[in-house]
Amino acid sequence: MQFLESNYMMLLVLVSSGLMLLWSFFGNKIRGIKEVDTVAALQLVNHKDAIVLDVREQAEYDAGHVLNAKLIPLGKLNERIGELEKFRAQPIVVICRSGQRSSSATANLTKQGFDQAYNLVGGVLAWQKAGLPLEKK
């Protein structure tokens, strides 16, 4: 018991870091965000006519993006949501650099009634790691 009293700050840091690690693995599932890896994303694009929504900034997009991806930066998503209405019945694969911004965008789309919105886990970095091509503008 004395050990716990003497080292309560270390234990607090340990518990906090453990909770943050668990949230990073399970947070999106808890929030109801659907996730796909690169293989599943390709299957959605090739077999289910999914569109790819890139939520990065223009400069990031110009440096390399998925072929035929539609660019709507995350900060502009709410004001430009109408541009996606015609895709409401289709799957939408949301992508950013690493999967963090696209996770937020996917949650927003789901809240707006886009039931087939999917976050690409790992984003463009995972896409590149899988050896998949990027188009440069």
List strand residue ranges (DSSP E) for 33-124, in order. Answer: 34-36, 51-54, 70-71, 92-95, 117-120
Contact call for residues 44 and 118 (beta carbons, < 8 A): yes
Whole-model pTM over 0.75? yes
77-109, pLDDT tens digit by residue?
999 999 999 999 999 999 999 999 999 999 999
pLDDT tens, position by position, 38-81: 999 999 999 999 999 999 999 999 999 999 999 999 999 999 99
**What are the structure tokens assigned to 136, written together?**
């440069």
Res 25 pLDDT > 60? no
Q: Are 106 and 94 in contact (CB under 8 A)?
A: yes
Provide the annotated active-site residues: 96
Domain definitions of the chain by residue range: 1-30, 33-129
Tokens standing for residue 54 = 């890139």
3 state SS of 5: helix
Does domain 33-129 correspond to CATH entry 3.40.250.10?
Answer: yes
Chain length of the chain = 137
CB 67 within 8 A of CB 133: yes
Under DSSP, the state recorded for 135 is: B
User: Is the backbone of residue 99 left (phi > 0), alpha (psi -120 to 50) or beta?
Assistant: left
pLDDT-derived band at 5, boundaries 50, 70, 90: confident
Q: Where are the beta strands (DSSP E) in 1-137?
A: 34-36, 51-54, 70-71, 92-95, 117-120
